[in-house]
Structure 1
Amino acid sequence: MVIFRIELRRSIAPWAGLALLLVALGFLFLLSGPWWKVPAPWTGHTTTTALWLRFLLVFLWPIAVGAGAIQGMRDSRSGMAELLATTSRPGRHRALRLAGAVGALSALGFLLVFAVGLGEVLGHGGFVSASFLPVVGVGLLAVVAGSWVGLAVGRLLPHPLTAPALAVLTLVASVLAWTSVDAQVLSMSYTRFALLAPALGQPRGALVTTSGSMDLGQTVWFAGLAATGFLLLAAESARARVLGLLPVLAGAAIALPVFPASTDGLLTPDAVAAQKRCDGPICVSRAHEDMLAALAGPGREALALLAKLPGAPTRIEEQTGPYSYTSPPARDPGVVYLDFQLNDDLLTADAAALRTAVVSGAGLPGCVPPSYGEVSDMSARMIAAAYFTGELRALPEYAGNWFRRNSPLVEPAWAKFRALPPDVQFARIVALRQVLLSCQGDPLDTLVPGARR
């Protein structure tokens, strides 16, 4: 323990942990990034906090690897390598203490960032569960593995350019891997090899977590990488160095087939936060359980309004799956889905707004990704909501208020639709529902032919 404490004081270990802590907190608090915004604010859920921390490993992992390389060059750069080789103590004993010090304090820096995030979640009244453990655990293992690989490379290649070159190469590899797994970036096609880096794409919702197959594969891979890093650090012969490569090769061979085959398999609904809480036909997630009482009354009223439609929906459920940047929302003829993650206005909406949200689009979402705000789609769903409520009002969703104020089509189209005979109005609402179910056809033209001309 005495030697271990000495390594803690005289090695780069404290500075490595401090660098990870300061860089991460600088990103989170000094930049107004997507981690402060819907659909996945980092203060909303402890698992979301962990996912954002994994995202930041794009920049943090190169720091851990580079710091390890700096420390790994110490003996050779100070002329101590030959002297230490003559001592009776096996090299693995010295390697264990050095690797333990650097790995432990690097991991501590990573954990302290999460501890700050946990405080933010508690301070903002977010949802707390133990679902973050696999996400944080894999991140910790990756940080330790990266620092140990850096130590090994620094010991084997004690050149002044080794540490900066290794850090830059790690950064480039991390960025390329991130662009492969982040659906919002789409600069590279997905490949399983991208999951050999620890960084994840931006979280696509506050009710999601990493899939079990990804956690398992990355645990095996980073364990193999850490083992190889340590064995190379402790190796004293060429044969030992060659044998030291076996764990990382075995880890890759096991992990790659286990990894998800597409980006759709990277994230999955959180079994705790997304757990259903129901009041009859009205269901919300456990994370938004306080919305159940507010939604129950308006939700039942809205279902009663929709009941006159053929094949009318009979349930209201919160959308708990990962948010897609490129695909339209999920739909089901028997279920009205509400998205509290993306449409955070719903969390503070009054009864009238909640009722409008349920009956918009005759109980169906649009056929474009929610952030697109296509004119025909949103106009038609607004008019459908007004048909049931008798009042044309902004939809309580992304860009809803802006669209209500700035679209020149909605008011004239609503006036034309309202002037139609009741049976024609009903038939067109039924037709709109079919268009939104199949996503075939123009929604606004279905309600008011020629409205866009």
Structure 2
Amino acid sequence: MAGPTRPPLAAGRVRARGGPMIFRTEVKRSIAPWAGLALVVVALGFLFLLSGPWWKVPAPWTAHVTTTALWLRFVLMFLWPIVVGAGAIQGMRDSRSGMVELLSTTPRPGWHRAAKLAGAVGALTGLGYLLVFAVGVVEVFAHDGFFSPGFVPVVLVGLLGVVAGSWLGLAVGRLLPHPLAAPGAAVLALVATILCWISLEPGLDAVLPVRAGPLVPSLAEPRGSMVTTSASLDVGQAVWFLGLAATGFLLLAVNSARARLLSLLPLVAGAAIALPLFPALPQDALTADRFAARKVCDGPVCVAELHSGRLAGLAGPGREALAMLAKLPGAPTRVEEETLPYFANRVPRRDPGVVYLDFQGNKGLLTVDASDLRLAVLAGAGVPSCERPSAGSLPDEAARTIAAAYFTGELKVPPDFDRGYFNRQFGAIEQVWAEFRALPADVQFARIVAVRQALLTCQGEPLDTLVPGALR
């Protein structure tokens, strides 16, 4: 008797290979490779050809791999519209080719074809996003930057946003197969990302509420080299983009009007869960990265793990400055690096027991010598300015300079000040310093105590406390 025939097995092999073969076909005949390539080219062009804020203090993108991930999320302001527009172009393929009726008569479920197309477009655009991040990681290592696992949620949520944007574009192209659909979707996505970015940027007049800012994957500028996104923002955005991706895929796969209406449910559910989790204030979107901001201490002097190499140079001057300040009532007992996000419109935090040094906002502190580090600790009798970094005033800086000079006996500009501007006014400050030095020793001490209290409470004019009517 003849043995069993081979065709059924061969047919089974064809069916088994059908999925990968169809996926490879979709990759070849779709816009997916070009969309991923466009994302890579535009992103690297922005990051390497423009001397944008990603190269500058307080958050150079090569300082820390999490900062690199945050800058890539910022650049999504321009990349996400490209992803949405490319998806819309691809979504119009069946309508442009006149195959809608033909495909509707095939026995194969619509979601099978949708899954292969969405998988190809989503995978290639997501791969482009990851390739740009990989280039950033190489740059971090090349510049001896800091590596920590804090980048994982930042990158994964951004990846979800890219995939969701591509699937949203596919759905738009399928539902609105018009030549203007793709450019229109891209322009609307660009407008939406800019408006959402403004709502997360402190100090700007926002059109949208703050909680609407995270509805797109782009973020405002990172405010420091040791910050990351807050957990609530990560969870909220992950839920929102999952809902957006699910709705985009369902709209691509289903045909009836009723099914399309039901496809909006994941979007609504995602918004309902995510919006309460989104930050109510722009500052709440960022928090200190617990890996980079971990304290490394030498006695009472501490720096962040990111700048652990600076501890040896700061420990000695820090102890000397604390010993000088010890004669003041309620004197500080510790010197620590400031690890909170840097905001130009926010007054630096203050603590009577701690002197904070901001290496993020004042890059010069990373390279100055021991005497300048000691001077930075003594400025303002160990208390920062009550002025916002973006609105510093000469009287305020003069008071903090004279307070430091009281302990050292020498009037010298602290390293964290704008020395170019300050030196032009140095003659006037020397006159105030001479008036202060002419006072009896007990009066000088009392006024230094008073100026420290004025800076701690941010009440009164510090320079008037030292020398009434000075610089007027």
TM-score of the alignment, normalized to the shorter chain, above 0.5 = yes
2:141 to 113, 116, 122: 122
Mapping 1:353-364, distance limit 5 Å:
353-364=372-383
Does the 8 Å contact 2:82/2:186 carry over to 1? yes
Mapping 1:370-385, distance limit 5 Å:
370-385=389-404
Structure 1 length normalisation: TM-score? Answer: 0.98
Q: How many Å apart are 1:264 and its aligned residue? A: 2.8
Q: How many Å apart are 1:144 and its aligned residue? A: 0.2
Q: Does 2:272 match 1:244? A: no
Cα distance 1:239–1:21, how it changes in 2: closer, same or farther (>3 A)?
same
SS of match in other structure, 2:275: helix
> 2:10 aligns to what?
none
Does the 8 Å contact 1:445/1:452 carry over to 2? no
Q: How many Å apart are 1:180 and its aligned residue? A: 0.3
> 1:418 aligns to what?
437
Mapping 1:263-342, distance limit 5 Å:
263-342=282-361
Distance 1:189 1:58 in 2: 16
> 1:443 aligns to what?
462
Does the 8 Å contact 1:371/1:398 carry over to 2? no
Q: Which consecutive unaligned segments of at least 5 residues does structure 1 have?
A: none
Does the 8 Å contact 1:353/1:395 carry over to 2? yes
> 2:6 aligns to what?
none
Q: Does 2:97 match 1:78? A: yes
SS of match in other structure, 2:194: helix
> 2:17 aligns to what?
none
Deviations 1:209-250 (A, max 9, x none): 100001000000000000010011011222221111111111
Distance 1:397 1:371 in 2: 13
Shift >4 Å, 4+ stretches: none
> 2:226 aligns to what?
207
Q: CA RMSD in A?
A: 1.2
1:386 to 405, 408, 425: 405
Distance 2:301 2:394 in 1: 30
Q: Once the two structures are aligned, what percentage of the paired residues are identical? A: 68
> 2:449 aligns to what?
430
Q: Which consecutive unaligned segments of at least 5 residues does structure 2 have?
A: 1-19
Q: How many Å apart are 1:407 and its aligned residue? A: 4.5
Distance 1:25 1:397 in 2: 33
2:37 to 8, 18, 32: 18
Supply the AA of the counterpart residue of 1:9: K
Structure 2 length normalisation: TM-score? Answer: 0.94
Distance 1:217 1:187 in 2: 21
Of residues 393-402 and 151-160 in structure 1, the stretch that sits farther from structure 2 once superposed is: 393-402
Of residues 357-366 and 7-16 in structure 1, the stretch that sits farther from structure 2 once superposed is: 7-16
Distance 1:277 1:185 in 2: 36
1:97 to 116, 123, 128: 116
SS of match in other structure, 1:258: coil
> 1:40 aligns to what?
59
Distance 2:100 2:352 in 1: 72
Deviations 1:85-141 (A, max 9, x none): 222221111111110110011011111111111111111111111100101100000
Q: How many Å apart are 1:394 and its aligned residue? A: 1.7
Q: Does 2:22 match 1:3? A: yes
Supply the AA of the counterpart residue of 1:439: C
Of residues 177-186 and 134-143 in structure 1, the stretch that sits farther from structure 2 once superposed is: 177-186
> 1:180 aligns to what?
199
SS of match in other structure, 1:56: helix
Supply the AA of the counterpart residue of 2:177: P
Supply the AA of the counterpart residue of 1:206: S
SS of match in other structure, 2:303: strand
Supply the AA of the counterpart residue of 2:77: V
Q: How many Å apart are 1:356 and its aligned residue? A: 0.2
Number of matched pairs: 453
Cα distance 1:133–1:60, how it changes in 2: closer, same or farther (>3 A)?
same
Q: Does 2:214 match 1:195? A: yes
Cα distance 1:185–1:36, how it changes in 2: closer, same or farther (>3 A)?
farther
> 2:4 aligns to what?
none
Distance 1:177 1:96 in 2: 30
Cα distance 1:414–1:106, how it changes in 2: closer, same or farther (>3 A)?
same
Does the 8 Å contact 2:365/2:416 carry over to 1? yes
Does the 8 Å contact 1:364/1:437 carry over to 2? yes
Distance 2:52 2:212 in 1: 27
Cα distance 1:299–1:442, how it changes in 2: closer, same or farther (>3 A)?
same
Q: How many Å apart are 1:8 and its aligned residue? A: 1.0
> 2:3 aligns to what?
none
Q: How many Å apart are 1:61 and its aligned residue? A: 0.8
Does the 8 Å contact 1:331/1:437 carry over to 2? yes
Distance 1:19 1:408 in 2: 56
SS of match in other structure, 2:391: coil
Distance 1:152 1:413 in 2: 69
Q: How many Å apart are 1:186 and its aligned residue? A: 4.0
